[in-house]
Copies of this chain bind each other. A is one copy, B any other.
Amino acid sequence: MKRKSFGNMQCPVARSLELVGEWWSILILRDAMHGLTRFDEFEKSLEIAPNMLTRRLTSLVSSGLLERKKYQDHPPRYEYILTKKGKDFRPVLVSLLAWGNQYLAPEGKSVLLVDSQSETIIDPILVDRNSKKPLTRISSRFVPGPKANKETIARINFANERKPKKIK
């Protein structure tokens, strides 16, 4: 009976977790971002049991994050390619990376991001696409969207000191 609904499943965060909430899923995506495509590449990189790998790959394919493509006919061989949906998951991984580097790498960093042109280290932050203003907890806040139900509205308005506004 596990994980049937998780409360208010309207929340996009909860829905995202529905697809990638398992450990291996995220790590597989990470490796896919790094360019891995084939079963044994994932298997070696992750040291994951093959049955688990099959299950996670299958679930990622059916969630539309990976695509299974035949790259050879005899014998039939498949590779797992990131879809656009999968590629667009990158900011989540980058944010997770940045956070991990900041708080969970006391001995020094093992993975970094660099700018491909200048070869300088990148320090990733979130900004608004249009205004380019950095997103902080002061400058930005969550609000109920047009399709928010009352549970969502209730939860979010807590943060905003009870200004029950919907954004159209």
Contact surface of A with B, Cβ cutoff 8 Å: 3, 6-8, 10-19, 21, 23, 26-27, 30-31, 33-36, 41, 45-48, 64, 85, 87-105, 107-118, 120-133, 135, 137-149, 151-152, 154-156, 158-160, 167
Contacts of A167 in B (CB 8 A): 112, 114, 121
Residue of B nearest to A145 (CB): B109
Contacts of A110 in B (CB 8 A): 10-12, 144-145, 147-149, 152
Contacts of A64 in B (CB 8 A): 103
With contacts A12-B111, A112-B143, A146-B109 taken as known, whether A129 is within 8 angstroms of B137 at the C-beta atoms is no
Contacts of A30 in B (CB 8 A): 11, 13
Partner of A127, one of B90, B107, B127, B144: B127
